[in-house]
Amino acid sequence: MIALTRSVPSSIANCELTHLQREPIDLERAKQQHRQYEETLASLGYTIVHLPDTPELPDSVFVEDTAVVTDEIAIITRPGAASRRPETVTVADALRQYRPIVHIQEPGTLDGGDVLRIGKRFFVGRSDRTNEQGIEQLRMYLTPFGYSVEEVVLNDCLHLKTAVTALNETMVLLNPAWVRMPGFETIETDPAEAFAANVLLTPRGVMMSAAFPRTIERVRSRGIDVHPVDASELAKAEGGLTCCSLLLA
Ligand code: GLY
212 C-alpha vs ligand 1 centroid, how far in Å?
A: 21
Model pTM? 0.98
For ligand 1, say whether the CB of 219 is within 6 Å of any of its atoms. no
Angle at CA of residue 178, ends 206 and 107, nearest 5°: 95
For ligand 1, say whether the CB of 207 is within 6 Å of any of its atoms. no
**Tens-digit pLDDT string for the chain (249 aa):** 999 999 999 999 999 999 999 999 999 999 999 999 999 999 999 999 999 999 999 999 999 999 999 999 999 999 999 999 999 999 999 999 999 999 999 999 999 999 999 999 999 999 999 999 999 999 999 999 999 999 999 999 999 999 999 999 999 999 999 999 999 999 999 999 999 999 999 999 999 999 999 999 999 999 999 999 999 999 999 999 999 999 998
pLDDT of the residue at 249: 87
Residue 236 CB contacts under 8 Å (≥ 6 apart), including other chains: 20, 23, 24, 25
For ligand 1, say whether the CB of 16 is within 6 Å of any of its atoms. yes
103 is catalytic: no
Residue 165 CA to residue 83 CA, distance in Å, equals 26
Residue 10 has, within 13 A of its CA and on its CB side, a CA count of 3
176 C-alpha vs ligand 1 centroid, how far in Å?
A: 22
pLDDT of the residue at 40: 98
Angle at CA of residue 166, ends 136 and 48, nearest 5°: 90
DSSP states of the chain: -EEEE-PPPTTGGG---SSSPP----HHHHHHHHHHHHHHHHHTTPEEEEPPP-TT-TTTT-GGGGEEE-SS-EEE---SSGGGGGGHHHHHHHHTTTS-EEE--TT----GGGEEEETTEEEEE--SS--HHHHHHHHHHHGGGT-EEEEE---SSSSHHHHEEESSSSEEEE-TTT---TTSEEEEPPTT-TTTT--EEETTEEEEETT-HHHHHHHHTTT--EEEE--HHHHTTT--TGGG-EEE-
Residue nearest to atom 3 of ligand 1 (CA): 16
For ligand 1, say whether the CB of 41 is within 6 Å of any of its atoms. no
What domains appear along the chain, each with residue ranges and CATH number?
A: 2-248 (3.75.10.10)
243 is catalytic: yes
Residue 234 CA to residue 230 CA, distance in Å, equals 10
Residue nearest to atom 4 of ligand 1 (CA): 16
Residue 216 CA to residue 224 CA, distance in Å, equals 10
